[in-house]
Amino acid sequence: MTFLVGPARWGVAAPYAAAGLPVVAVAADADKGGLPEPSVGGVLEIINTVGSNFPLGGWAGFGATLAGGSVLGYLHLKQKFDLGKSGPTTNGKNAARVGFANPKELRKWLSEGALRERAGTLRPSLEGEKRRSISPHEVGLHLGTDLLYKKGLFVACEDIVLMYAPPRSGKSAQYGNAVIDAAGACVVTSTRGDLYEHTHKLRREHNRPVWVFNAGVSGVENTLRWNLVEGCEDPVVALRRAGYILAASANGEAMENASFWEGHSFMVLSCYLMAAGIKGYDLTRVRAWVTDSTNREPLEILEGHPHIVPAGWARGLGQMRNAPEKTRDSVYLTLVRSFEFMSLPQVMDIVSPRPGQQKFDVQDFLRSRGTLYLMGRDQQYGSVAPLFTALVGEIYEAAYLEADNSPGGRMDPYVRFVLDEAAVICPLPLHKWSADAGGRNIQLLVSVQSPSQLRERWGHNGAQTIMNNSVRVALGGLSI
């Protein structure tokens, strides 16, 4: 199903970069009418065609409005700003014949009314509320406004959204609205500070806490302290966090294949995290062990606590110490690479909270409907991706468990993950998450630069799984 849409809304505090012109491709299930689904190539072709039909005068007026300075509150750009007669010259009837959704389809699947009708199911706490009194943002996300029929387009809070967003395509404008409007807790990853600058003041309203995990983006102060090792005395927690750290280092087919979860590096790191958790250490001690394969301390800790250490853990770690040199070196090289972020002084400070410093608490974050901004640069060496992945993964796991214990098996309100540049700074196992996150009201908004980047990170099958489970939004390269 294809829609020609305008920007959802402009943000607050300062104008965003050019919004672009998104075209939305929504996968339609066979039992929902079997609507044809355009390819990304077809979507991009439509974008180019539409772009060539915008006269310069229309865009000039559009740009002048955006450059007009700060805007306090919401600016419903498409609804309150008239593009005028110089709007798209594409004939509405012809557009419908070449694959655009008609008004009936829009009302049925993506209208505000259709979203409100499902409010009680999407959020059990809203059952019995008058539908007209429910803001659509309480149960979903505003994608934009259809330019052919002038109708707002919405997706539910259970829908996964995958955005193809090349540079300077209006991604910040789209995601800024998603952050501001999130009814529950919101997790935001980015390589820049603009999303934080444009949204954090509104997210702080109603005493909602805002946390910043800044590992290298200038101009924004870090406020977060998190001891990744805390809780790892529980072997389940140690296994989970070791898996997320190593998953951030996997690419392509390796991400699809579960073998790395079962490999020697995973076993050693799980043992190290549990040993550090037992002794109350932080990640600096784990890094010291990782960089010195002859250090016996973690093995001695495990051997000294047989009542809490699962059978076989200490023995397995001991066997690795006596493994052939080539095998041992390969394992520790993988671990050293995964801990390169610990060479950054600002990261060392973040993961080693001092006594008296407030530490990030995942459960409190979810309960208080807080906002967490994670900012880091895309870099080949010293990437914070393993650390980001571990923390975001921990929040996801906590939300997943809370949903399982909530009415309807859903987070209420929903929690929203806005994952900008997901393939490079926070490469989570989205091929697994996208299968059932939405049904628990854990909404994933995932941004990658192209389908090829998706395949490079998650492999062919993993990328296809993510695409199949998502509402796909392709932002055109139009700029003002």
Specify the amino acid at residue 282.
D
- Taken in order of first residue, the domains within the chain and their CATH numbers are 2-223+361-475 (3.40.50), 235-350 (no CATH)
Specify the amino acid at residue 326.
K
As given in the structure block, the two tokens for residue 420 are 């900008």
Q: Does residue 350 sit in helix, strand or coil? A: helix
Residue 385 near residue 261, CB atoms below 8 Å: no
Q: Does residue 297 sit in helix, strand or coil? A: helix
Q: From residue 366, how far is each of 123, 400, 413, 426 by CA, in Å?
A: 16, 11, 10, 20
Angle CA(170)–CA(473)–CA(153) in degrees, nearest 5?
Answer: 90
- pTM for this prediction: 0.81
- Residue 190 φ/ψ, nearest 5 degrees: -165, 155
How far is Cα 324 from Cα 304, in angstroms, rounded to an integer?
26
If phi over 0 gives left and psi between -120 and 50 gives alpha, with beta otherwise, what is residue 312? left
As given in the structure block, the two tokens for residue 85 are 């007669």
Q: Quickly tell me which residue has 């076989």 as its tokens.
A: 312
Residue 22 near residue 474, CB atoms below 8 Å: yes
CA 361, 363, 364, 365 torsion: positive or negative? positive
If phi over 0 gives left and psi between -120 and 50 gives alpha, with beta otherwise, what is residue 69? left
CB 61: neighbour CB atoms within 10 A?
14
DSSP state of 332: H
How far is Cα 452 from Cα 463, in angstroms, rounded to an integer?
9
pLDDT at residue number 321: 87
pLDDT at residue number 468: 95
Residue 388 near residue 248, CB atoms below 8 Å: yes
How far is Cα 246 from Cα 260, in angstroms, rounded to an integer?
8
How far is Cα 246 from Cα 269, in angstroms, rounded to an integer?
9
Question: Splitting the chain (480 residues) into consecutive groups of 10 residues, what average pLDDT does each group show?
Answer: 53 33 40 36 33 32 26 30 39 54 88 94 93 93 86 94 82 86 97 92 96 88 95 97 88 55 85 98 96 95 97 95 88 92 90 89 97 87 88 98 96 97 92 95 95 92 95 66
pLDDT at residue number 117: 94
Q: For the packed helices 235-247 and 385-404, what is the interaxial angle rounded to 10 degrees?
A: 130
Pairing state between β 22-25 and 470-475: antiparallel
Beta-bridge mates of residue 193: none
**DSSP secondary structure string for all residues of 145-211:** EETTT--EEEEETT-EEEEE--TTSSHHHHHHHHHHH-SS-EEEEESSSHHHHHHHHHHTGGG--EE
CB 154: neighbour CB atoms within 10 A?
24
Q: Quickly tell me which residue has 């955005």 as its tokens.
A: 163
